Chain A
Amino acid sequence: MRRSLKIAAIVAAVAGLCTLGLAAETVKVGFIYVGPIGDYGWSHAHNVAREICEQNFPWLETVYVESVPEGEVETYIDQLVRQGCNIVFTTSFGFMDGTYAAALRYPKVILAHCSGFMRAPNLATYMADFYQVYYLNGLMAGALTKTGKVAYVGAFPIPEVKRHLNAFAIGVREVNPNAEVHVRWIYEWFNPAAAKEATEALVAEGCDVFAFTEDSPTVVQVAAERGFPSFAHYSPMYDFAPDYVVSGQLVHWEAIYLDFLQKVHDGVYTNENLEHVDYWWLLSQKAVEVGAKPGMMINPVFEDDLKAYIVDHPVFGEISAYDLVMVRYNQMADPGVTFDPFQGPIYDRRGVLRVPEGMWMSVDSLITMEWAVEGVVGPWPGEP
């Protein structure tokens, strides 16, 4: 409703002309957002990245359209191309078909679609994924729970959220093999009231540590009111509960945008060679960060508790949860990645072996994950 109400989308054009005043080298980029930039979540994060790009590249000019209904993306691409954009970023999974169709109609324009899988010579795909970060958050959550019940408020039961939830649960069980991750679905990306009531339901269920996927700080706020630790999602939410936010997931879309735009500017990427350009950027590319605010991986308030929690680890022997987080972080953040949360053997909660001993999952199987790992309790629509 909210989206379609904005029939007249607000289009802001900021001219960042090159210092010499010559526009010959100018690249004009259009961004299409699914939500309002004020959502403090997904679209907000893309827009922050857009602003950073504009500050970094004097030859760059950007425009954006917000709250675009998913079915109407083609019309908005038309509009941006008519305004002279040579590059268009579409930032919602639901924009995929429209973006692909537009790519075929505008072979001279470079397009990039976020979170999808359809590519063309002039259409790339990109994604900054959180699953490693959720796993690290899970290690902390498993060490902090006293009831053995960790909560997760999920947006939609789709592969992306399931992957994150599974990674989180794997982390929880690595330090606390008997702990459970209780899940509730709210069927919205953004609905503070639903997130609040789902959190309250999990509190009543006996959960005492909270993680979530929803575009508002509601879960963090509600958990803090009850005196429970939580993990921020997507945007810096530390300020909402400085004594209760342990860590969280932060995104840096600018890492991808800066790289992509620089390569277009340098002539590395053209409208003819994007067929295999798929950014799947994680910790080691610095597209995502662990923490509830930039630069603070673990809230100092929880450092002592995490250092005091000793795990008898199959690989590292006796190790504190704090040190385990650091070791695992380094294994994943260093350019030569030596660990993945979905490292076999991994069984789903029905006992089926999903990842054989010693194997890692391919990107394709990660982005189509439907099963639930052991330790997840609660509804799981679409469970195979």
Chain B
Amino acid sequence: MGWEEWLISTIARALAYGTPLLWGTLGEVYAERSGVVNLGVEGMMAIGAFSAFAVAQSTGNPGLGILVAAVAGGGAALIHAFLTVTLRANQYVSGLALTMFGLGLSGLLGRGWEGVPLKHPLPAITVPYLADIPILGPMLFQNQSIITYLGLVLAVVLWVLLYRTRWGITLRSVGESPATADALGVNVYLVRYLAVILGGVLAGVAGGYLSVEYRPSWTEGMTGGMGWIVIALTIFVAWDPVQAIGGAVLFGALYHLSYRLQPWVAPELLKLMPYAAAIIVLAFVGLGGAQRRRGAPGALGVPYARGEK
């Protein structure tokens, strides 16, 4: 086995494992860009995973399952938006509650769905012609998910929207200084609602990917902490959708390598590797932050009340 084999399997697995992280992170980036932290990603993913599985299993249509997961995730996020934007509840508390709610609800509804294989999972795709390219083919174009490719495209689209369009400026201004945006005639509440709901939609898809493609089956608690990795990744990638690709793939690669390298490095140490990387980068972000907060929205985590100082 040469280095090519290592490279191929590492990148290919990094994309597969990184896909739900990418979708979740893109959603959280948008929510936080509007100034709302949503710690409920894990819960929204769990709801997405269950609803996608239930729908895909009963209709035989995994695509519809993903769609319903998106709606369900968005619905869950709507609760967070209502609590934090309209009622101005503490964003951290509300997000944690949403995580507990999502895990609990999906576990409850999921009774009786566990232990059955999904009859029609989302098929893995191999891109014609491109898959035959040496090294690059097996690395990027064999047995990957359509959700993976959609995620990559979405990241670029969201980047363009954020940095190159009027909508993006509006979103960022709401996250930086809602009072200023409000004074300029921006509907702060509406923008925040939409951003938070989009975050939920994308987290829902991330969960759906897990249950109709990555596994594909349902078990209670199957999100296994990915939602928390998403929260860390959002900071890690400096709230930038394109950097989110790099973050998700890097995390996926470290995860894969933590199993490949076990014969040579203590498994306990490897198990820590992805998380240690996250902590190190967060520390660097903190150190470098004095000059340039690396994209952290100015009003992040602060509820906005019109007319209050």
Could you tell me which A residues sit within 8 Å of B by CB distance?
1-2, 5-6, 36, 38-40, 44, 157, 184-187, 190-194, 196-198, 200-202, 204-206, 216-218, 221, 225, 235, 239-241, 377-379, 381
B13 interface residue, CB < 8 Å from A? yes
Find chain A residues with CB under 8 A from B82 CB.
none
Counting chain A CB atoms within 10 Å of each CB, the highest count among B6, B210, B220 belongs to B220
- Asked if A197 meets B214 with Cβ closer than 8 Å, knowing A192-B222, A379-B266, the reply is no
- The answer to whether B9 and A38 have CB atoms under 8 Å apart is no
Distance of A206 Cα from B220 Cα, bound (Å): 32
Stretch at the interface among B129-137, B253-261, B286-294: B253-261
B268 touches A38 (CB 8 A): no
Contact of B217 among A6, A157, A217, A379 (CB under 8 A): A217
Whether B259 and A198, one on each chain, are in contact in the complex, defined by CB atoms closer than 8 angstroms, is yes
Residue on B with the closest CB to A204?
B9
Choose from A38, A194, A241, A378 the contact partner of B111 (Cβ within 8 Å).
Answer: A38
If A5-B103, A217-B117 touch, whether A192 touches B267 (CB-CB below 8 Å) is no
Contact residues in B for A194 (Cβ distance below 8 Å): 224
Indicate the member of B116, B216, B219, B260 with the most A CB atoms within 10 Å. B219
Query: Is there an interface contact between A192 and B220, defined as CB atoms closer than 8 Å?
Result: no
CB pair B259 A44 closer than 8 Å: no
- From B17, B100, B217, B262, A221 is in contact (CB under 8 Å) with B217
**Is the Cβ of B255 less than 8 Å from the Cβ of A197?**
yes
B117 near A378 with CB under 8 A, answer no
CB-nearest residue of chain B to A240: B117
Mark contacts of B99-119 with chain A using CB atoms, 8 A cut-off: 1 yes-contact digit, 0 otherwise.
010011001001100111100
The answer to whether residues A201 and B226 also contact, given A40-B115, A217-B217 and a CB cut-off of 8 A, is: no
Interface presence of B271 (CB below 8 A): yes
**What is the CA–CA distance of A57 and B133 in the complex, to the nearest angstrom?**
65
Chain A: minimal CB distance from B116 (Å):
7
The answer to whether B262 touches A185, judged by C-beta atoms less than 8 angstroms apart, is: yes
| B residues in contact with A221, CB < 8 Å | 117, 215-217
Minimum CB–CB distance from A178 to chain B (whole Å) comes to 19
Contact of B259 with A240 in the complex, beta carbons under 8 Å: no
> What residues on A are CB-neighbors of B222 within 8 Å?
192, 216
Chain B residue at minimum C-beta to C-beta distance from A187: B271
A205: chain B residues within 8 A (beta carbon) = 260
> For A196, what are the chain B residues with a Cβ–Cβ distance below 8 Å?
17, 214-215
Cβ contacts under 8 Å, B184 to chain A = none
| Alpha-carbon distance A204/B17, docked complex (angstroms) | 16
Query: A196-B214, A240-B117 are known contacts. Are A39 and B219 too (CB-CB below 8 A)?
Result: yes
- The 3 A-B pairs of least Cβ separation, nearest first, read A201-B259, A38-B220, A40-B115
B115 and A204 form a contact (CB under 8 A)? no
Given A197-B255, A201-B260, does the pair A239, B219 have CB atoms closer than 8 Å?
no
List, sorted by A's number, 8 A–B pairs whose CB atoms are closer than 8 Å: A5-B104, A185-B262, A185-B267, A190-B219, A201-B256, A218-B215, A241-B117, A378-B263
Judge whether A240 and B262 touch: CB under 8 Å: no
- 1/0 per residue, CB under 8 A from A, across B1-25: the answer is 1000110010001000100000000
Contacts of B124 in A (CB 8 A): 225
Q: How far is the CB of A136 from chain B (nearest CB, A)?
A: 24
